[in-house]
Amino acid sequence: MSVRDGTIDELRAAVGLQIADEELLRTLVAGLDDVEDVLRGVASSDVAAIDEAARHLVDAGGKRFRPMFTLLASQFGPGGSRDAVITAAAAVELVHLATLYHDDVMDEATMRRGAPSVNARWDNSVAILTGDYLFAHASRLVADLGTDAARIIAETFGELVTGQMRETVGPQPGDDPVDHYLSVIGQKTGSLIATAGRFGGMFSGATPEQIEALRRFGEIVGTAFQISDDIIDIASPPEASGKAQGTDLREGVRTLPMHYALSNDPDPRLVELLAGPLTDDALVEEALDLLRRSGGLERTRDTLADYARRAQQELAALPPSSAREACESVADYLVARTH
């Protein structure tokens, strides 16, 4: 199945990726096609139950931002190994998919990418084991890339799990809730995108300085995407975002605008509403209204603008090119999508 007809347009809509260079566009699309081939090959199994569950999310598609960023980051090196870049891009996406299976179990989700989640269609045990299966194959792919790559992906696994654990247990006494939240999403979302950029630079022969800039850019952008999603969940009407509002409120998840709204002389009613998950639509609407009128949204937008600025600064270490312009467009989009 080719990604040529839809993926680039979906990426442009979802992550603001703008590519005017037709040659770069063709290179990225061809690379994504190869990544899809690897994903489908790895997700297949002679055991029917494993094959069906593992292919469930692979076949559902998605933005594929992480492999796209790996491919884009590979444009900054003089060449290197294209096969290694494709393998690394596929491995990063497998890790991402594996975390989605586990997340759905923890969140008791029933839908994922417009289809029933694996835990809803089968059960939690199948979802957990399928995630483990994909983690195993991601590790196998990275093992072929050398010990440095294997160490990096192992460190990334550790960051993902640590971030999830810290989110689950919440901030500890004496922790600043805002600092805790930002560091958690940096681990849960930023760390894997950082590894995508790092791998792209490594396997294309980029300089150590360029590889580090790509790693930091990926970490900042990954964190910023979560912050922008936090804003959209509160501020954007469903017809604009394409998503139901107040999802975080319904799940009892405190996001950055909520932490900011609760930080300085909060509205007592908002404190009451944010004490746990909200299942009543009227209460969700009340909480959304109070959050919109609080200073939390504006402070979150300021924080997002700062992350976008920091991301742009990291790109200054990279040579001017169409690939850098594409990365810059993503950083610009982070702010634009929330207004």
Mean pLDDT score of the chain, rounded to an integer? 89
| Closest listed residue to residue 327, CA positions, set 28, 1, 5 | 28
pLDDT at 122: 76
Tell me what the mean pLDDT of segment 255-276 comes to: 95
| Residue 196 near residue 218 (C-beta atoms within 8 A) | yes
pLDDT at 105: 80
pLDDT at 110: 64
pLDDT at 109: 63
Q: What residues are paired with 105 via a beta bridge?
A: none
Question: Which residue type is seen at 209?
Answer: E
Q: Which domains does the chain have, with CATH numbers?
A: 7-336 (1.10.600.10)
pTM of the model: 0.91
Q: What are phi and psi of 267, to 5 degrees?
A: -65, 125
C-alpha–C-alpha distance, residues 101 and 127, integer Å: 5
Per-residue model confidence as pLDDT tens digits over 25-74: 899 999 999 999 999 999 888 888 888 888 888 887 778 999 999 999 99
pLDDT at 241: 45
Per-residue model confidence as pLDDT tens digits over 143-153: 999 999 999 99
> Given pLDDT bands bounded at 50, 70 and 90, which one contains residue 127?
confident
| Residue 273 near residue 286 (C-beta atoms within 8 A) | yes
Question: What percent of the chain stands above pLDDT 90?
Answer: 68
Tell me what the mean pLDDT of segment 204-226 comes to: 97
DSSP string covering 250-265: HHT---HHHHHHHHSS
Per-residue model confidence as pLDDT tens digits over 268-323: 999 999 999 999 999 999 999 999 999 999 999 999 999 999 999 999 999 999 99
pLDDT at 3: 47
Which of 104-113, 184-193, 289-298, 326-335 is the least confident region? 104-113
4: its two tokens = 């040529």
Q: Is the pLDDT of residue 175 over 70?
A: yes
C-alpha–C-alpha distance, residues 291 and 299, integer Å: 12
pLDDT at 12: 65
> Given pLDDT bands bounded at 50, 70 and 90, which one contains residue 17?
confident
Locus of tokens 């999403």: 185
Tell me what the mean pLDDT of segment 143-172 comes to: 95
| Residue 143 near residue 82 (C-beta atoms within 8 A) | no
> Given pLDDT bands bounded at 50, 70 and 90, which one contains residue 205?
very high
Tell me what the mean pLDDT of segment 229-245 comes to: 75
> Given pLDDT bands bounded at 50, 70 and 90, which one contains residue 1?
very low
